[in-house]
């Protein structure tokens, strides 16, 4: 539990709030279902909300568990192109909900990185999910994958709210949320980008962020290419 000893009171308060919010919501809708008397449409909506809040809670718990793990640098190459396509399909319902379109451009279908699949998923899903949640309505997300000089780069650019320039160097800090996103009615723990950054560093990679307030945010993630790549 050493990593949790470094959490200050405000960070802990925020973490507790993020845990309590979905739990309170779930309990409230379960109580409404117990009371009965709802039509089928309303009942289905209640179940959908409970499922959604449960998924948020599970993700937060998994993130908390992850940051308390010791690093494991087991090399397990995976096809980045195939995995990215899989993650985008998983996030399509969320994108549709926010009226956001995701466009993928890959230089090849055989681009491999020496990072386990579960680690890649945490990096890409966290960043793409943020790009959806903090995008503008009818916004877009552009994802480009390239391999050059034994380096693989993934560029994820959205048409969203952007990040203030004076906050760019803080967004990878644990529990940090930008002043812009705090004003939006979007829940977040401030752990996703911190976890993504930790994993990338563990596997000799690098994340760079560019942003213009009110226009876009772009993440450029660079990994060493696997020898499997052609």
Q: What's the average pLDDT block by block, 10 residues per block, for the chain (230 residues)? A: 48 62 83 88 88 78 63 67 90 90 86 85 89 92 92 95 91 83 70 86 92 94 76
Instruction: Identify the pLDDT of residue 28.
Output: 85
β pairing state of 216-224 and 112-113: unpaired
Record the tokens describing residue 95, joined without a space: 């994108």
Instruction: Identify the pLDDT of residue 187.
Output: 65
Instruction: Identify the pLDDT of residue 203.
Output: 87
SS3 173: coil
Count the alpha carbons within 13 Å of 212 in the hemisphere toward its beta carbon: 4
DSSP at 225: B
Instruction: Identify the pLDDT of residue 155.
Output: 96
Instruction: Identify the pLDDT of residue 69.
Output: 57
Q: What is the dihedral of CA 128, 131, 134, 137, to 10 degrees?
A: -110
SS3 220: strand
Count the alpha carbons within 13 Å of 22 in the hemisphere toward its beta carbon: 20
Domains parsed from the chain with CATH numbers: 2-67 (1.10.287), 78-224 (3.30.565.10)
Instruction: Identify the pLDDT of residue 2.
Output: 47
Integer Cα distance of 199 and 205 in angstroms:
8
Record the tokens describing residue 230, joined without a space: 């052609």
Instruction: Identify the pLDDT of residue 99.
Output: 94
Q: What is the dihedral of CA 202, 163, 146, 95, to 10 degrees?
A: 100
DSSP at 228: T
Instruction: Identify the pLDDT of residue 16.
Output: 66
Cβ-contact 81, 108 below 8 angstroms? yes
Question: What are the DSSP calls for 70-115, one per residue?
Answer: PP------EEHHHHHHHHHHHHHHHHHHTT-EEEEEES-S--EESS
Each residue's pLDDT tens digit, 137-159 = 899 999 999 998 889 999 999 99
Integer Cα distance of 25 and 21 in angstroms:
6
């Amino acid at each position: 539990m050493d990593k949790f000893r470094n959490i200050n009171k405000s960070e802990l308060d925020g973490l507790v709030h993020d845990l309590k919010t979905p739990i309170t919501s779930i309990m409230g809708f379960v109580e409404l279902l117990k009371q009965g008397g709802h039509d089928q449409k309303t009942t289905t909506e209640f179940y959908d909300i409970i499922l959604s809040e449960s998924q948020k809670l599970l993700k937060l718990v998994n993130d908390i568990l992850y940051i308390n793990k010791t690093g494991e640098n087991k090399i397990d190459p995976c096809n980045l192109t195939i995995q990215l396509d899989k993650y985008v399909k998983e996030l399509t319902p969320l994108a549709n909900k926010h009226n956001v379109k995701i466009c993928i451009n890959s230089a090849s279908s055989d681009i491999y990185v020496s990072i386990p699949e579960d680690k890649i998923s945490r990096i890409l899903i966290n960043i793409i999910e943020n790009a959806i949640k903090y995008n503008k309505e009818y916004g877009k997300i552009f994802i480009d994958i390239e391999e050059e000089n034994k380096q693989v780069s993934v560029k994820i650019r959205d048409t969203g709210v952007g990040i203030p320039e004076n906050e760019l160097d803080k967004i990878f800090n644990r529990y940090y949320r930008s002043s812009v996103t705090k004003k939006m009615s979007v829940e977040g723990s401030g752990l996703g980008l911190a976890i993504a950054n930790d994993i990338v560093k563990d596997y000799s990679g690098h994340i760079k962020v560019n942003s213009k307030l009110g226009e876009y945010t772009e993440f450029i993630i660079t990994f060493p290419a696997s020898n499997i790549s052609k």
